[in-house]
Structure 1
Amino acid sequence: MSGRVPVTVRTARWCATHPGKAVVGWLVFLALCIGAGAAAGTNKGTFEDFWIGEAGRAEAMAAHSGLTPPPVEQVLVEAAAKGARPEAAAGEIRRRMTALAPVVVDVAAPVRSADGSALRIAVTLRGDRETAKKDVDALLAETAAVRADHPELRIEQTGSASISVAVNDKQGQDLQRTEMISLPVTFLILFVVFGAVLAAGIPVLLALSAFAGSVGLYGLASWVFPDAGGAALSAIFMLGMAVGVDYSLFYLKRVREERARTGGTLSHTAAVELAAATSGRAVVDSGLAVSLALAGLYVMDDVIFSSIATGSILVTLVAVVGSLTVLPAVLAKLGPRMDGRRLRRRAARNPQGARQEGRLWAALLRPVMRRPLLALVSGVVVTAALAAPALGMKLGTEGKETFPDSIPAVAAYDRLVRHFPSAGPAHLVLVRGDDPAAVLGRLAAATRGDALFAQDTVPVPRTAPDGRTALLALPVPYAQNSAEATESLAKLRGELLPAAVAGAGVETAVSGEIAGGVDYAAHQEKRLPWVIVFVSLAGLVVMYAAFRSPVLALLGTALNLAAVTVSWGILTLVFQGTWAEGLLGFESLGFVGSRTPLLVFGILVGLSTDYQIFVVSRIREAVRRGVPTRTAVVDGIAGSASVVTSAAVIMVSVFAAFLFIDRIEMKQLAVGLTAAVLFDAIVLRAVILPSAMALLGERCWWPRRPGAEPAREAVAAGGGRPRPVRA
């Protein structure tokens, strides 16, 4: 035997010949992952983990001096009909909330709105925001009881704790609904592709098992990279379904292709080994590419991106392990049952079906190969046109006004702010030094009469017990992401605060929802170039390692960036305008979520490299058989087109299902990934890639054209003679 048998083949061979042990080993592995995760628990990120920039410094100053604002819930009482008097209900709310001590530490007197139609009662809770999330249900129950006693009034409760709990509950329900949509749709697509229930079910089961195992491992990993909340779980499920099904699809398709080449005489075990030598290697390269691309999110030095990167990398690697171990075992064990009766009948009627499918794709590629320069220019023009809107992309941070109004606490917040502008977002100004209260008093006076700041209350500084630190809350009567809110922050930091502290020799910092969003966006803008450099270099390394060609590595990186920029352009077109609101069920905020472009970038580069590796691997196989590069491009793309198309359809179904999550950032992520996958499969792989490789010709493989595949041996199932394995 010449040459070393690849580890993917050796692993597949052992699993295929010991299927029972392989399946049991996989189940034990999953049980250990899930059990270890359950035993370790999940380490939730602390408030300190989210501190960034000047806003983070202000939060630290407040925490160290005991000035962190306590959690407050607001109960809004409005007259729903003429003659209704809210005073009695407000009194009952105060009595009920006071009785909840020690959960409730203070209940303020009712405050009447300027028009007299509403009252608000501020209820201060113990502890911090995390404690408030656990305690808030007791307050909500009392508010509901008062509401039931006063049907003539509109009585609602809102606040950071009640909104956070409601949003997380809603997202959990939506995620379950997404799973209920995604799983059967994926199964149906696979059934159409494979024509057999078993062949359709196995990729779904593998993806779900990878998801389950990675969730357990994520619990362990959270003690190194703290969990930032529900976004990570959504990302794990989304990517787990995508790569888990894709890797199974690559493997299954190749097994069937190898059997079809021999008219069905090749055993399933031997076909599995052949698939391991080709698709198995592509799966390993792809998994490495996806993982390295996602690892670029760590460069952001942000707990949210770190937790998403951790979960996504884990589910990708678990899916790779499953594809190389338990999948070959199951395929070899089930054997002909994987084919299904319909497929066997179709093969009997049309034994050249796979070849005819290749001929169809070859015919579709013929115009591209006949006029490669024209095709390349056309593809680049389309790419540029779709990507151009990204130049006008505006970023904003998720806040109370971005959550859906279908959540009662969010709708109540909107009504509360309309009646009481000072209940909206506020700048939190921290001053440390001698007589900080006097400094903040001058600052408060400077904001009186300024329309950029709320005027329905008089801000009063709070001084820490040490007397050297003070805090002033300056409410803003505008939405957190509005231009007016950003202008008020710029004026506060650039003019009013410097004027108030002039000559005082004190330390200052501004926090709050608005400042936190602005500083977070600035932090991302500063780190983003480094992420792009890291991910691009990682993609170059993986592509070079896979094909030993810097030309193909550079071409692959360019295609990855093209897919990303098109996705950003479509995100800008869809979500900064209003034309798609009714179609996709959202209310345009005039911006794209600040985290969305980077998440799209990390995920897309990995998945795009995944396609690139699979397609170019097929082209290289043809070249190694002695086929000229130009012909090999057609053979490779035509031979892989059905797999890539099927994978793209499945990915689209998985990503599009997230449109049903009623949270605009999830909708944006779904649209960005769905559009990019479709563009990648239709334009990049079917037009730009073949035309570019046709123009480059043999230079694609510089510095050296791939030689013939070294002979490798595999033992056909049931036979004792070794035979060479085709590339």
Structure 2
Amino acid sequence: MAAAMGAWSARHRKTAVFGWLLFVVLAAVLGGMHGSTKVARDESVPGEVSRAARILDEAGLKSPAGETVLVQSPELSADAPAFRAAVAQVIAAVEGTGKAASVRSPYDSKAISADGHGVLVQLTLKGDGDDAVANVPAVMDAVAGVQKQHPELTVVELGEASSGKWIQDQFADDFSRAEWTAVPLALGILLVAFGALVAAVLPVVLALTAFVAAGGLVALGSGLLHTSDDASSVMLLVGLAVGVDYCLFYLRREREERAAGRDLAGALAVAAATSGRAVLVSGVTVVVAMAGMFLTGIADFRAMAFGTIVVVVTAVLGSLTVLPALLSMLGDRVAKGRVPLLGKPRRPDAATTGGRFWNAVLTPVLRRPLAATLLAGAFLLGLAAPLLTMHTANLTFQQQLPRGNALVTASQKIEAAFPGSPAPATVVIKATDITSPAMTAAIADLKARALASGRMHGPVDVTVHREQNVATVDIPLDGSGNDATSNAALRALREDLVPATVLKVPGTEAPVTGQTAGSHDFNAKMTGALPAVFGFVVAFAFLLMLTSFRSLAVAATAVVLNLLSVGAAYGVLTLVFQHGVGASLLGTAGVGAVESWVPLFLFVILFGLSMDYHVFVVSRIKEGRDRGLSTRAAIAHGIRSTAGVVTSAAVIMVAVFAVFGTLSMQAMKQMGVGLAVAVLIDATVIRAVLLPAVMTLLGERNWYLPRWLHRLPDLSHGEPFPPVATAPHAPAPRRHRVEV
């Protein structure tokens, strides 16, 4: 299929190029006109949190964005006239903005700290979602104005809208920074790899056009599969990495064949039949791996999976169609624009000798494969060891944002004065008659028991919506929000207090939601989904390798090596972000947990991306074996001939992923660092040491396929290569010795 697509594109160059451009423009324009449908709140969370969101939505109740303003004095008590005057000034300033729907005095709500030196002014903003985020800056400015007038007091604000505003702005800034940093980085690395401007620009341009087209397609499909902001970041991350890598594989093989003496048509045919096939198999593997995320049943994961699948399929399509057409048009002009110092022509035998560095690595590995296997395996298992202590959680607001951030400081001050207040648990009660004496008594009993439990604190806020027969009870929990203390308080609320009070009234439903509940339910859902996702991805990757190479050993080796690289990445992630080892180098600190969705996301992404290198390298090894080389000679030839391109591809991926490791949001940092570490390990320890060592130990058993499996579809090599026909302008092949 890959060979046929490449041949058609080379013959119909204009059709392929202009067809691609038309496709990109149409997808982008139609997607922009259609717009994106984002994941709704009740879709993004599982369990009781989803039920609570559904009750509020069905009742037509949009949860107002709540904000709290802490007024605190180290000396004055809350009853002091000067203190009361400052509180009144805060209330007047907030009401004066016209953006607040309601403002509650702390003296009415009894929101006074235990030491009597701090109070909470509670307010809700007009509008919901985006409207509340748009309204909050005026309120924040008003509060900041009061703080300036009273430097002797602490006057700080925190809430859903203020934190949402910061995250929204920071997300946009980070995304823009990642985009403008990753692209020049990839271009610079390609300039070093090729030494020529045209050859370096081609992969970046194709990757970016694939990303643009995929963005339009995702927007068009978002009516059926809703998308999210996280999905857009992941699309850029993966789309740029795989798009550049696929083009790099293809272009390098075409240049290598030209240097070996083939004419342009022959070089393109070989590149299509070899690298094109590797790109196709790699793309299918990534798609299959990402499809495993649909098994989680979580809308955000479905959005990420959908976006990534679309961008990978688009990148594969571009690499197999428009790239051969462009190379056919350009011919040897693809090497134009040589950069001084970088533009030194490669030796004709460089592709097969692998260079001094990789020769120095590979020679002892092939000489002592057992020792290399044991050492590399022990090293990877050592890196993976911290995985045994991994703790996952939905990171709290304080954990997600950088230390020293004004909102984090405000949150810490509010948390110290009013434990649990910034993120209370909310009991959403739906009853037959919410104002009946029995329900009124049950809610009062719930409030009293919560305060008497020792795990929860005031102020407990009760809001009754009489017309909808719905009430909400906000109960602050002990703990940080996602630690053992908070989870124990949540468990007591769900399993003891709610069933013993409001659920005793017939016809009542009372799910518990909130930050702690969301983290708990998300973790429970993820834990339940992990075996299914892992099993699905591993099984399909094994089957794909089995049918692609028709070898049990190759398929099993691919799965085991990929699991080792993923395990090592998990270990490093746990060591850095949970235990804080070396975290300061990344501008962060150990936060005590790994973001809940990161391990599963890393698994499916890494399992797919690792196949890029594995398929590319093993394809070259099998190609040598099919041409009559012994297995040991084929391994040496395959590793040496792919060393340069695998190094360049890995450096690009690591650089792109590392950019995300510099962003502000903790989850993005963890994702970027995990991917960068895994790809680095995969391209060095796995592909340069462990793979050749294990394959050398297996010898001819690498190609064993039981007779009963011969019925499998044959997706292996077998395309006849056109003969070498040296073109008049092509350099003649130089004779050289290859030590194996």
What do residues 435-471 of structure 1 show as CA deviations (whole Å, max 9, x unaligned)?
233223223222334442124x3x2544442696543
Give runs of aligned pairs for residues 96-111 of structure 1, distance below 5 A.
96-99=93-96, 101=98, 103-110=99-106
Secondary structure in structure 1 of the residue aligned to 2:426: strand
Q: 1:277 aligns with which of 258, 267, 273?
A: 273
Tell me, yes or no, if structure 1 residue 365 matches structure 2 residue 362: yes
CA offset at residue 40 of structure 1?
Answer: 0.8
**Residue of structure 2 equivalent to 1:582:** 584
What amino acid is aligned across from residue 583 of structure 1 in structure 2? Answer: L
What do residues 11-66 of structure 1 show as CA deviations (whole Å, max 9, x unaligned)?
33343344444332222111011011101100012222124112322333444456
CA offset at residue 717 of structure 1?
Answer: 11
CA offset at residue 323 of structure 1?
Answer: 1.0
1:159 touches 1:409 (CA, 8 Å); kept in 2? Answer: no
**Residue of structure 1 equivalent to 2:662:** 660
2:427 touches 2:510 (CA, 8 Å); kept in 1? Answer: yes
CA offset at residue 613 of structure 1?
Answer: 0.7
**Residue of structure 2 equivalent to 1:414:** 412
Q: 2:718 aligns with which of 699, 709, 718?
A: 709
1:372 touches 1:691 (CA, 8 Å); kept in 2? Answer: yes
Tell me, yes or no, if structure 1 residue 247 matches structure 2 residue 241: no
C-alpha separation in 2, matches of 1:537 and 1:96: 62
**Residue of structure 2 equivalent to 1:54:** 48
2:420 touches 2:480 (CA, 8 Å); kept in 1? Answer: no
CA offset at residue 207 of structure 1?
Answer: 1.6
**Residue of structure 2 equivalent to 1:429:** 427
Taking only aligned residues, the RMSD between alpha carbons, in angstroms, comes to 3.0
**Residue of structure 2 equivalent to 1:233:** 232
* Residue 118 to residue 684, structure 1, CA distance change in 2 (3 Å): same
**Residue of structure 2 equivalent to 1:441:** 444
Give runs of aligned pairs for residues 557-596 of structure 1, distance below 5 A.
557-596=559-598
Question: Could you tell me the TM-score, scaled by structure 2's length?
Answer: 0.88
Tell me, yes or no, if structure 1 residue 393 matches structure 2 residue 395: no
Q: 1:669 aligns with which of 656, 662, 671?
A: 671
**Residue of structure 1 equivalent to 2:174:** 174
Greater displacement, 39-48 / 544-553: 544-553
C-alpha separation in 2, matches of 1:246 and 1:345: 21
* Residue 209 to residue 503, structure 1, CA distance change in 2 (3 Å): closer
C-alpha separation in 2, matches of 1:466 and 1:631: 80
CA offset at residue 118 of structure 1?
Answer: 4.5
Greater displacement, 697-706 / 155-164: 697-706
CA offset at residue 579 of structure 1?
Answer: 2.8
2:395 touches 2:593 (CA, 8 Å); kept in 1? Answer: no
What do residues 507-533 of structure 1 show as CA deviations (whole Å, max 9, x unaligned)?
443222111110110011001110001
**Residue of structure 2 equivalent to 1:35:** 29
2:42 touches 2:51 (CA, 8 Å); kept in 1? Answer: no
Q: 2:632 aligns with which of 621, 630, 634?
A: 630
CA offset at residue 490 of structure 1?
Answer: 2.1
Greater displacement, 84-93 / 231-240: 84-93
What amino acid is aligned across from residue 334 of structure 2 in structure 1? Answer: M
What amino acid is aligned across from residue 398 of structure 1 in structure 2? Answer: L
* Residue 99 to residue 90, structure 1, CA distance change in 2 (3 Å): same
* Residue 534 to residue 76, structure 1, CA distance change in 2 (3 Å): same
* Residue 379 to residue 469, structure 1, CA distance change in 2 (3 Å): same
C-alpha separation in 2, matches of 1:345 and 1:388: 44
Greater displacement, 662-671 / 66-75: 66-75
* Residue 414 to residue 66, structure 1, CA distance change in 2 (3 Å): farther
C-alpha separation in 1, matches of 2:208 and 2:685: 31
1:604 touches 1:676 (CA, 8 Å); kept in 2? Answer: yes
Give runs of aligned pairs for residues 441-520 of structure 1, distance below 5 A.
441-455=444-458, 457=459, 459=460, 461-465=462-466, 469-500=470-501, 507-520=509-522
CA offset at residue 710 of structure 1?
Answer: 4.6
C-alpha separation in 1, matches of 2:350 and 2:96: 76
CA offset at residue 479 of structure 1?
Answer: 1.2
C-alpha separation in 1, matches of 2:163 and 2:274: 51
C-alpha separation in 2, matches of 1:221 and 1:85: 58
C-alpha separation in 2, matches of 1:525 and 1:92: 49
What amino acid is aligned across from residue 422 of structure 2 in structure 1? Answer: G
Greater displacement, 26-35 / 551-560: 551-560
2:654 touches 2:680 (CA, 8 Å); kept in 1? Answer: yes
What do residues 558-609 of structure 1 show as CA deviations (whole Å, max 9, x unaligned)?
2221211111111111111123231111132211110110110011000011
Secondary structure in structure 1 of the residue aligned to 2:354: helix
2:118 touches 2:417 (CA, 8 Å); kept in 1? Answer: yes
Secondary structure in structure 1 of the residue aligned to 2:618: helix
C-alpha separation in 1, matches of 2:85 and 2:249: 68
C-alpha separation in 2, matches of 1:78 and 1:48: 36
CA offset at residue 221 of structure 1?
Answer: 1.9
Greater displacement, 52-61 / 339-348: 339-348
C-alpha separation in 2, matches of 1:213 and 1:153: 53
**Residue of structure 1 equivalent to 2:6:** 12
What amino acid is aligned across from residue 416 of structure 1 in structure 2? Answer: I
**Residue of structure 2 equivalent to 1:302:** 298
What do residues 143-191 of structure 1 show as CA deviations (whole Å, max 9, x unaligned)?
4555566666654432111201211211221222223322222222111
**Residue of structure 2 equivalent to 1:524:** 526
C-alpha separation in 2, matches of 1:269 and 1:344: 28
C-alpha separation in 1, matches of 2:68 and 2:105: 12
C-alpha separation in 1, matches of 2:332 and 2:586: 43
What amino acid is aligned across from residue 388 of structure 1 in structure 2? Answer: A
**Residue of structure 1 equivalent to 2:160:** 160
* Residue 509 to residue 353, structure 1, CA distance change in 2 (3 Å): closer
What amino acid is aligned across from residue 711 of structure 1 in structure 2? Answer: P
**Residue of structure 2 equivalent to 1:616:** 618
Secondary structure in structure 1 of the residue aligned to 2:68: strand
**Residue of structure 2 equivalent to 1:199:** 199
1:289 touches 1:609 (CA, 8 Å); kept in 2? Answer: yes
Question: Could you tell me the TM-score, scaled by structure 1's length?
Answer: 0.89
Give runs of aligned pairs for residues 94-133 of structure 1, distance below 5 A.
94-99=91-96, 101=98, 103-110=99-106, 113-115=113-115, 117-133=117-133
C-alpha separation in 2, matches of 1:43 and 1:466: 30
1:86 touches 1:118 (CA, 8 Å); kept in 2? Answer: no
**Residue of structure 2 equivalent to 1:725:** none
What amino acid is aligned across from residue 286 of structure 2 in structure 1? Answer: V
CA offset at residue 197 of structure 1?
Answer: 1.4
C-alpha separation in 2, matches of 1:668 and 1:137: 30
What do residues 188-220 of structure 1 show as CA deviations (whole Å, max 9, x unaligned)?
211111111121122122221122111111111
**Residue of structure 2 equivalent to 1:646:** 648
What amino acid is aligned across from residue 76 of structure 1 in structure 2? Answer: L
2:461 touches 2:475 (CA, 8 Å); kept in 1? Answer: no
CA offset at residue 238 of structure 1?
Answer: 0.7
CA offset at residue 331 of structure 1?
Answer: 2.2
Greater displacement, 44-53 / 276-285: 44-53
CA offset at residue 276 of structure 1?
Answer: 1.0
2:478 touches 2:489 (CA, 8 Å); kept in 1? Answer: no
What amino acid is aligned across from residue 309 of structure 1 in structure 2? Answer: A
Tell me, yes or no, if structure 1 residue 261 matches structure 2 residue 264: no
C-alpha separation in 2, matches of 1:411 and 1:677: 36
2:235 touches 2:307 (CA, 8 Å); kept in 1? Answer: yes
How many residues are aligned here? 705
What amino acid is aligned across from residue 400 of structure 2 in structure 1? Answer: F
Tell me, yes or no, if structure 1 residue 682 matches structure 2 residue 680: no
CA offset at residue 503 of structure 1?
Answer: 5.9
CA offset at residue 382 of structure 1?
Answer: 2.0
Identity %: 38
C-alpha separation in 2, matches of 1:460 and 1:140: 23
C-alpha separation in 2, matches of 1:320 and 1:502: 55
Secondary structure in structure 1 of the residue aligned to 2:472: strand
Secondary structure in structure 2 of the residue aligned to 1:105: strand
